[in-house]
Amino acid sequence: MLREALRFKRLYLAGAVLLTILATPLFAQSNGVSPTNIFAPDSTPAHSIFRLSIFELEVEGAIFVVVFSLLAYAVTKFRQRRKDDDTEPPQVYGSNQMEIAWTVLPVLIVVVLFLTTAQVIHRVQDARRPAGTTEVTVVAHQFWWEYRYPQYGFVTANELHVPVSDLQTPTPTYLGLLSADVDHSFWVPRLAGKTDLIPNHPNTMWIDPQETGIFLGQCSQYCGTQHAKMLQRVYVQTKDDFDKWVHAQQQPAVVDPSVAAGGALFIAKACFACHTVRGTPAMGVVGPDLTHLMSRDTIGSGAVPNTPENLRNWVHDPAIFKPGTLMPKPDLTDAELAQITAYLSTLR
Amino acid sequence: MQVVYEWLGTADHKKIGLMYIVYALLFLVIMGIEAILMRIQLAHPNSTFLSPQVFNRLFTMHGTTGVFFVAMPILFGFANYVVPLMIGARDMAFPRLNAFSFWVTAFGGFLLYASFFTAGGFSQAGGAPDVGWFAYAPLTSPAFSPGHSTDYWTLSLLLAGVGSIAGAANIIATVLGMRCPGMTLGRMPLMAWMSLVMGGLILVTISPLTAAQLMLMVDRYMGGHFFDTAAGGSVVMWMHFFWIFGHPEVYVLIIPCFGFVSEIVPVFARKAMFGYPAMVAASVGIGFVSLGVWAHHMYTVGLPSYGNAFFVLTTMLVAVPTGIKIFNWLATMWGGKIRFATPMLFCTGFLFQFLVAGLTGIMLATAPFDWQLGNSYFVVAHFHYVIVGGILFTIFAAFYYWFPKVSGRMMNETLGKWHFWIFLIGFHLTFDPMHIPGLLGMPRRVYTYEAGRGWDTANMISSVGAIFQVVGILIFVYNLLSSFFVGPESGNDPWDAWTLEWATTSPPPEYNFATIPEVKSRRPLWDIKHPEDPDWKYE
C-alpha cells in the first residue's frame, strides 16, 4: 500500500512546489521581502484581515490537498494500461450517499467561513470611533493626493503624516475619502484594506498603526493615464514628532527675500492658478499645496525623490517624469526656471 | 465566387459555427499580441518600452476583445455546430436569425478595432478605448474621455450584445423545441443543458449592460447626467449595472466549457457521467445564484457592512454547486480506463486549474481579504486562471475532440501533446507567480511599477511564460491547418463515443441526418454498441 502511494512521488512534488510558491508570502516579513506585503500587518484593520485570511488559507489548503490527491490518484491509478483488454469498465451512474455528503460538507464549510467573515466585516466597517482620533480628509485627484487636517487648519499633499497608536490607549486616524474627479482607491497594504474614493460618494476608513516608520502604497482603481504613479507615503510618527510636524505645517510659507524674484514669477507665470502657497496670493486648488513643498521626500506624488535636480526638471516639464500628468509644461526661459526653482526650494 | 457566396449567405448552423470559431481564433491571436506587448513592458520596473497611453489602450482592448470577441463567439460557435447534431436536429430553430447573430457580432469586433486607426495613428494605438474593459464612470464622461475612444467601446459592444441576445434566444428555442423523438430533457447531453443555461443567463444579463451603455451615450451626447456626479449623477449606479451584467457574464463563459468537459471526460474515461441529475441541478443552480453575487466586485466601494456580508454569502454559496461538478467529474474518472489523448490531457489540466481558480475565488469572495487583494494582481491571476486555465484549456480540448467530426480528419496527436505540455508550462510560468505581486501590494492596470517592492522577479517570470504560450498556440494553429489538409481520415466515430453527432458522417451532410434518430437513453450509441447492457435499463 505504501509502495503504491510512493509511485506518485513526482505528483506530490509538483503539488508541494506549487503550494510553496503560493504560500511563500506567508513566511515573508516585510523588511525582508516587500514594504507593501499584506501579510505584514501593522494596524488593526490589516491585522483582522490577516488573521481571517490565514484561517481561510488553512481551510482551503486542506481542501486543495484532498481534491488534488484524489485527482492525482485517479489520473495514475485508472489510466488505461497496455495489458488491459477492450472491455468497458463497470458503468456507475451515481451514488446518493456520496453526492449528499459532498454537498452537505461544502455547505457547512461555507457557513463557517461566512460567519467568521461577517464578524470581521462588522469589526472593521462598524468600529466605534474612540476619543483622541486624528481626522484627515483625503481628496483624490488625477494623479495626486490632497490631505486636509480640519482639526489643525492646514492642507498638504501626497505624504500623509499620522501619530502612532497603541492597543491599550488607541489614537487612530480616521480618513474621510473624497474625490475631485474620477474613481481612485486608497491602498496602504500594511495598514488596512483598500477603500475607494468615488465622486459624490464619501467613504471613511481608519488606521491605527502600532509602529513608527514609513508605509507605502498607491492608488488602486484605474483613474487614467498616470494611475501607476499615484503613489502614497504614510509617515507614522511619535506624538511629539507628529505635533512638531503639525506645528510646522500650520505656519504660512517661509518668506525669503533672496528669492523674491522667483516668488513674483510664481504669480506672473500663473502657477498660482493651480497651486496654493499660504501667506501669498497663490490660492489655487487644482494642484497640490506647495506651502511646505520642501518638507516632502518626493515630488509628483512619489514619482521621483525631491532633489534640486528633479525639482528643476519637474518644473521644466512634468511629462519628463510623469507623461500624462495634468500639470502643463510651463513656458519659462532658463533664467526664469532657475528663479522659480530657487523660490520653491525655500518653501520648507 | 460561388464558395464565397455560399459562406457569406449561409444559414447552416455548421458553417455559421465555423465562422464564429475562425473569427474568434483571429482575435485570440490579436489578443495574444496585445498581451505579449504588455508583458514586455512589465518584465522590468520603470520600463519605457510602452508609453502609459499605449499601455492603457492595450489592456482595455485585451480585456474587451477577450470577453466579447473571443470567448463569446468561440463558445457560440461550438454550441452552434454541436448542439443541433447532439439533439438529432437538422439545424437551429431560427437559421436566418443565426446568421444575423454572427454578422452583427462580427461587425462589432471590426468596429472596435477600427479605433486603432483613428486619432494618433496605429503606432500610438490610435484612439482605441483606454478606460478599462469595465469602463467605470466618470472616467468615461466627456470631461475625462474627450474624443471617441469610449464611443468605440460602447457602440461595438451594443452590436455584440444584440448578436448575443439573438443567439441566446435561438439556442433556447432549439434546445426546447427541436429535440428528436425520445430525447426528453432528462436524456439530452449535458452540452445541450449547458447551452440552455448559457442562453438563459445571456437573456437576463446582457440587458443591464445595454441599458447602462445607452445611458452613457445619453450622458455623452444628449446632455444626460446619469453618471455625471457634478450634476447629482451616480457613479456607483454604473458599477451596479455593469457588474449585474459582468458577473453572470463570466458564468456564461464557463458553463459551456463545463459542457465540453462533461462530454469528453466520460468518453475518455470509458464511463457514463457520474451523477447526471446532480450535474443538471448544479448547472441550473449556478445560473440562478450567479445572478445574485455581483457586488463582490464592489466590496471596496463603501457599501454598508450588511450589504457586503450578503454578497459574501451568495458568492460562497455559488462555489458549492461548482465544487459538486468537480467531484462528479472526478467520480466519472474513478474506476475508469482513462485514455490520455489530447482532449483528455486538456480536461485534466482544466480540473486542476479550475480547482485552484475556485479556491482563489473564495479568497476574493471573503470581503475583508478582498479589501487587500481586490484590484491587485491577485485578481488578475485568479481570473486568468479561470479564463485561460479553465475556459481556454477546455476550448482546446473541444477542438481536438470535434475536429474529426467537422473535417473528417484527425488532428496530429504528437503535435497535440507538444501543444499541451508547452502551453501548460507557459500558463503556469505566467499565472502562478502572478499571485505573489498581488499579495505584496501590486495593483492592476499599471503601465509600470516601482522597484524594491518585491514584484520584480515574479513579473519577469510571468513575462517569460508568455513566450511558451505563444509557442504552444503556434503549434496548435499549425496542427489545425495541416491536419485539415493532410490529416489521417477519422471515420464517423474515432473516439468510440456515445452521443448522436458521432452517428452521422464526418463531416456531416448539410441536412445532418438522413433519418431523424429516435433515442431511449442519454447515450444512444452506447445502447447500440452494448445491446446486452443498454443505459435505459439503469436510468
**pLDDT at residue A225 in the model:** 96
Number of domains observed in the structure of chain A: 3
- Spatial separation of the C-alpha atoms in residues B78 and B94, rounded to whole Å: 17
Residues A211 and A268 both lie in one domain: no
**pLDDT for residue A85:** 80
What is the pLDDT at residue B124?
86
Same domain, A25 and A100: yes
Q: What is the dihedral of CA B421, B422, B423, B429, to 10 degrees?
A: 110
Nearest CA in chain B to A24: B436
Picking from B127, B108, B103, B102, the residue whose alpha carbon sits closest to that of residue B117 is: B127
With CA atoms as reference, report the closest residue to A46 among A66, A30, A58. Answer: A30
Residue B232: half-sphere exposure toward Cβ, Cα within 13 Å: 0
Q: Compute the distance between CA of residue B218 and CA of residue B212 in angstroms, rounded to an integer.
A: 10
* 3-class secondary-structure state, position A157: strand
Is A121's CB within 8 Å of B56's CB? no
Other Cβ atoms closer than 10 A to A337? 18
Residue B494 distance to chain A (closest CA, Å) = 15
Q: Name the strand (E) or helix (H) holding B282.
A: helix B276-289
Same domain, residue pair A206 and A222: yes
Give the residue ranges of chain A where pLDDT is below 70: 1-32
SS3 of residue A236 by DSSP: strand
Check whether residue A203 and residue A167 sit in a common domain: yes
Pairing type for strands A173-179 and A203-207 reads antiparallel
- Report the CATH number at residue A34: 1.10.287.90
The CATH number linked to A188 is: 2.60.40.420
Which of A250, A277, A304 finishes a domain? A250
CB spacing of A231 vs B453 below 8 angstroms: no
Listed residue (B181, B174, B182, B236) closest to B199, CA to CA: B174
Q: Are A173 and A154 in a shared domain?
A: yes
Q: For B338-449, where are the alpha helices, taking DSSP H only?
A: 342-365, 367-373, 377-384, 393-407, 413-431, 435-439
Query: Could you give the CA distance from residue A294 to residue B373 in angstroms, rounded to a whole number?
Result: 34
* Residue A10 lies in domain: 2-80+93-125
Collect all residues of chain B within an 8 Å Cβ-Cβ radius of residue A181: 138, 143-144
For residues A180 and A118, membership in a common domain is answered with: no
Where do the domains of chain B lie?
A: 2-537
Contacts with B, A 214-273, CB within 8 Å: 216-229, 231
Residues of chain B with pLDDT under 50: none
Whole-angstrom Cα distance, residue B345 to residue B341?
6
B contact test, residue of A183, A205, A219 with most B CBs within 10 A: A183
Nearest to B216 by CA among B228, B204, B232: B228
Q: Are B425 and B466 in contact (CB under 8 A)?
A: no
Whether residue A323 and residue B52 make contact (CB cut-off 8 A), yes or no, is yes
Query: Chain B contact for A1, CB < 8 A?
Result: no
Q: Closest Cα partner for B230 from B143, B130, B132?
A: B143
Give B341: exposed, middle or buried? Use CB within 10 Å, 0-12, 13-18, 19+.
Answer: buried
Task: Answer whether B441 sits within 8 Å of A185, measured CB to CB.
Answer: no
Contacts for B509-516: CB closer than 8 Å, 24+ residues apart:
B510/B12, B510/B14, B511/B90, B512/B84, B512/B85, B512/B89, B512/B90, B512/B91, B513/B88, B513/B90, B516/B88, B516/B89, B516/B90, B516/B180, B516/B181
A304 and A329 assigned to the same domain: yes
Q: How far is B15 from chain A (nearest CA, A)?
A: 35
* In A190-250, alpha helices (H): 239-250
CB contact under 8 A, A89 and B337: yes
Cβ contacts of B373 on chain A, cutoff 8 Å:
38
Domain membership flag for residue A307? yes
Cβ separation A189–B359 shorter than 8 A? no
If DSSP codes are grouped into helix, strand and coil, which group holds residue A199? coil
Give domain status of residue A291, yes or no. yes
Asked if A330 and A276 sit in the same domain, the reply is yes
Q: How far, in Å, CA of B372 to CA of B365, rounded?
A: 12
Nearest CA in chain B to A205: B302
Contact B40, B448 (CB under 8 A): no
Instruction: From chain B, pick out residues whose CB is under 8 angstroms from the CB of A142.
Output: 144
**Does the beta-carbon distance from B234 to A200 stay under 8 Å?**
yes
Angle at B537 between CA B536 and CA B539, to 5 degrees: 60
Closest by Cβ to B51, choosing from A218, A220, A323: A323
Half-sphere exposure of A342 (CA within 13 A, CB side): 16
- A141 & A75 share domain: no
- Based on the fold, state whether residues A213 and A278 are members of the same structural domain: no
Whole-number pLDDT of residue A33: 74
Give the pLDDT of residue A30: 41
A62 touches chain B (CB under 8 A): no
Find how far residue A345's CA is from the centre of its chain. Answer: 29
Q: What is the pLDDT of residue A83?
A: 81
Closest CA in chain B for residue A185: B300
Point out the residue among B56, B366, B439 whose CB comes nearest to the CB of A56: B366
CA distances for A104 relative to A2, A110, B96, B320, B426, angstroms: 31, 10, 46, 9, 37
Q: Coil, helix or strand for B39? A: helix
**pLDDT in the model for residue B230:** 87
Q: Is A170 helix (H, G, I), strand (E, B) or coil?
A: coil
Interface of A with B in 137-166 (CB under 8 A): 142
Are the CB atoms for B321 and B289 separated by under 8 Å? yes
Beta strand A304-305 with A173-179: parallel, antiparallel or unpaired? Answer: unpaired
| Mutant choice from B369, B421, B425 vs A, greatest count of A C-beta within 10 A | B369
Considering chain A, what percentage of its residues have pLDDT values greater than 90? 86
Domain membership flag for residue A51: yes
Please tell me the total number of residues recorded for chain A in this structure: 348
Closest residue in chain A to residue B133, using alpha carbons only: A222
ipTM rounded to 2 decimals: 0.94
Q: Which residues contact A91 (CB under 8 A, 6 or more apart)?
A: B271, B272, B533, B535, B538
Q: Which of B305, B323, B450 sits opposite A106 (nearest CB)?
A: B323
B2-537: CATH superfamily: Cytochrome c oxidase-like, subunit I domain (1.20.210.10)
Nearest-by-Cβ selection for A93 from B233, B272, B444: B272
Q: Quick one: A115 and A223 in the same domain?
A: no
Q: Which of B149, B440, B455, B496 to mutate to test the interface with A (most CBs of A within 10 A)?
A: B440
- Which long-range contacts link A147-156 to residues 24+ away (Cβ below 8 Å)? A149/A246, A149/A249, A152/A246, A152/A249, A152/A250, A153/A250, A154/A246, A154/A249, A154/A250, A154/A278, A154/A291, A155/A276, A155/A289, A156/A249, A156/A289, A156/A291, A156/A292
Residue A82 confidence (pLDDT):
83
pLDDT digits (tens, 9 = 90+) for A155-189: 999 999 999 999 998 999 999 999 999 999 999 99
- Domain-located, residue A86: no
Q: Nearest chain A Cα to B451, which residue?
A: A34
